[in-house]
Amino acid sequence: MNIGQDLKTLIVSTVWEIYANAFEHGKTDIGVFSCGQHFPKLNKLQLTVVDFGIGIPHNVRDFLEKADFAADKALKWAFKAGTTTRRGEARGIGLDLLRNFVKKNKGKLEIFSHDGYAILNESQEEYKIRENFFEGTLVNITLLCDESYYSLYPLLSESDNEPLF
């Protein structure tokens, strides 16, 4: 992958949010699993992160104290700027930053958690209910490996306006 150091740093810090959330919020006893593959001919990098923990909808329902909060609405809530399920901390910029990064840079993000499903890319942002139930959370992210696609500085300046703590 021939990309500059600034872009590498931004990609790693943005994607790290997926891993950090899996370890911190997943509350899994068996750990977090990940795999990825670079497709040079397609100029794509695909990563998958899976935890078999309590899942995003469960975390959001507990935090909001709304047992009947639908999984699709919980996923949408989790991606909203400023939301977090950690009590006493003003955080919640990570998933919003990831969402913006993927959309602006022609990537793709899919999340399966409980009966909720989210797909985000340049042209769509949908949150749905699925018939199948997945215990935990599975995240698929596809990134283009061509620096000409990336909008680097608007994301950096947007994140500078967000509270850090």
10-31 per-position pLDDT tens digit = 777 777 777 777 777 777 778 8
- The residue among 37, 17, 163 whose CA lies nearest residue 78 is 17
Alpha carbon 99 to its chain's center: 7
Angle at 163 between CA 107 and CA 142, to 5 degrees: 10
Question: Greatest CA separation found in the chain?
Answer: 48
Q: What is the pLDDT of residue 161?
A: 45
Domain range for 108: 5-152
Q: What is the pLDDT of residue 45?
A: 86
Residue 111 has pLDDT above 50, yes or no: yes
Residue 162 lies in a domain: no
63-83 per-position pLDDT tens digit = 999 999 999 999 999 988 877
Residue 131 lies in a domain: yes
Residue 163 lies in a domain: no
What CATH number did the domain enclosing 55 receive? 3.30.565.10
Q: What is the pLDDT of residue 84?
A: 77
Cβ distance 101 to 46 under 8 Å? no
In whole numbers, what is the pLDDT of the chain averaged over residues? 80
Task: Give the residue-averaged pLDDT of 36-53.
Answer: 89
Residue 139 lies in a domain: yes
Residue 19 lies in a domain: yes
β-strand 108-121 against 125-144: which pairing, if any? antiparallel
Q: DSSP letters of 79-139?
A: TSTT--SSTT-----HHHHHHHHHHHTT-EEEEEEEEEEEEEESS-EEEEEEEEEEEEEEE
Strand order in the sheet with 44-51: 32-39, 44-51, 125-144, 108-121
Residue 95 lies in a domain: yes
133 token code pair: 């139930």
Residue 57 has pLDDT above 80, yes or no: yes
Q: Give the predicted TM-score (pTM) of the model.
A: 0.79
Angle at 150 between CA 146 and CA 152, to 5 degrees: 135
Q: How many domains does the chain have?
A: 1
107 token code pair: 């990537």
Residue 140 lies in a domain: yes
Is the model more confident about 108 or about 143? Answer: 108
